[in-house]
């Protein structure tokens, strides 16, 4: 267990700061990822409802604060595009997450080695 | 002075994590419950509007008053009360008949109820786990 009263070398302090920053980035990324997943689910739900609707069904899409009338097929296309964009964004978040995780692991190992090295000396 | 061993410290930390999870789950369950209430209230509104629309002159419109703040209202007429526009998410809205709109909201509420049931089960498991930790810590202390 890390002893808070012990003197910490600047290198160890630096690694701890980096690790904390990385954790903050990971938290922010996890939040963005989860929001994107929710938006994808919402788009899928809306597409599902539009699929059930008849081709001549009256549909609207929101533009800013108002809803404007549109046709079902173009709304389906809009939502498919939106869903694809969101999926790409999600993939990019997943790649960033992998990079952060491996960097986190690397830093943790470095810190562990530094701490065990400083304990031995 | 510090008599807490590593295992107990780990248990206390785990207990705190579970406590946080319970709080988050309760907040989410409250929010889901509010959505269910809101859905039921909307169903009542749709039914009342449909009745008022097929009232005296069968005009498919309803007389109403709209709030403009400070307890004041202006007269308004709601047209096509037999058609309800439902927001289905992602900026899409579909016009439905009153029956279909009610059906849609009922289905959504049923999904919310299923979610509540699942969350309730998880909550029971978490609180059981918390009780076990409490028991372990108490028996260690006694």
Closest CA to A47 of B109, B107, B92: B92
User: Does some domain include residue A78?
Assistant: yes
Does residue A120 fall inside a structural domain? no
Any domain includes A15 = yes
* Helix, strand, or coil (residue A96): helix
Give the CATH fold of the B2-141 domain.
Helix Hairpins (1.10.287)
What pLDDT does B61 receive?
87
Residue among B102, B105, B115 at smallest CA distance from B32: B115
Q: Is B6 on the interface with A (CB under 8 A)?
A: yes
Q: Is the pLDDT of residue B58 over 70?
A: no
Calculate how close chain B gets to A83, using CA atoms only, in Å. 10
Is B93 within 8 Å of A1 when comparing Cβ atoms?
Answer: no
- Report which of residues B1 and B69 the model is more confident about: B69
Kindly tell me if the per-residue pLDDT of B64 is higher than 80.
yes
Tell me the pTM. 0.77
Give the list of residues 6+ apart from residue B75 with CB closer than 8 angstroms, or none.
Answer: B63, B64, B65
Question: Helix, strand, or coil here: A69?
Answer: strand
Q: What is the CATH number of the domain that holds A106?
A: 1.10.287.370
Cβ(A55)–Cβ(A72) below 8 Å: yes
Q: Which domain holds residue A38?
A: 10-114
Position A3 in a domain: no
Residue B1 above 80 pLDDT? no
User: HSE (CB half, 13 Å, CA atoms) of A89?
Assistant: 17
Cβ–Cβ contact B124 with A under 8 A: no
Verify whether the Cβ–Cβ distance B93 to A39 is below 8 Å.
Answer: no
Number of domains in chain A: 1
Q: Which of B10, B24, B80, B91 to mutate to test the interface with A (most CBs of A within 10 A)?
A: B91
B112 within 8 A of B95, measured Cβ to Cβ: no
* Tokens, residue B116: 């509540």
Subunit contact B90:A46, Cβ cutoff 8 A? yes
The answer on pLDDT for A23 being more than 90 is yes
Which of these ranges, A53-57, A63-67, B57-61, B118-122, has the smallest mean pLDDT? B57-61
- pLDDT band at residue B130, thresholds of 50, 70 and 90? very high
């Amino acid at each position: 267990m890390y002893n808070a009263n012990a003197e910490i070398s600047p290198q160890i302090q630096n690694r701890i700061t980096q690790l904390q920053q990385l954790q903050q980035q990971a938290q922010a990324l996890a939040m963005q990822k989860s929001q994107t997943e929710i938006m994808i689910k919402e788009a899928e739900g809306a597409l599902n409802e539009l699929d059930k609707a008849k081709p001549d069904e009256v549909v609207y899409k929101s533009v800013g604060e108002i809803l404007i009338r549109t046709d079902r097929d173009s709304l389906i296309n809009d939502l498919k595009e939106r869903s694809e964009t969101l999926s790409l964004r999600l993939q990019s978040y997943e790649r960033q997450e992998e990079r952060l995780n491996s960097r986190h692991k690397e830093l943790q190992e470095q810190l562990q080695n530094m701490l065990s090295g400083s304990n031995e000396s | 002075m510090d008599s807490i061993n590593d295992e107990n410290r780990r248990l206390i930390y785990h207990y705190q994590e579970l406590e946080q999870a319970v709080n988050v789950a309760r907040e989410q369950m409250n929010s889901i419950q509010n959505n269910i209430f809101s859905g039921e209230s909307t169903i009542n509104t749709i039914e009342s509007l449909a009745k008022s629309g097929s009232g005296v002159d069968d005009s498919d419109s309803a007389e109403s008053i709209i709030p403009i703040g400070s307890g004041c209202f202006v007269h308004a007429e709601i047209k096509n009360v037999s058609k309800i526009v439902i927001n289905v998410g992602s900026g899409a809205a579909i016009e439905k008949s009153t029956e279909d709109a009610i059906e849609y909201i009922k289905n959504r509420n049923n999904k919310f109820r299923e979610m509540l049931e699942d969350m309730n089960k998880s909550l029971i498991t978490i609180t059981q786990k918390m009780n076990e930790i409490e028991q372990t810590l108490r028996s260690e202390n006694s």
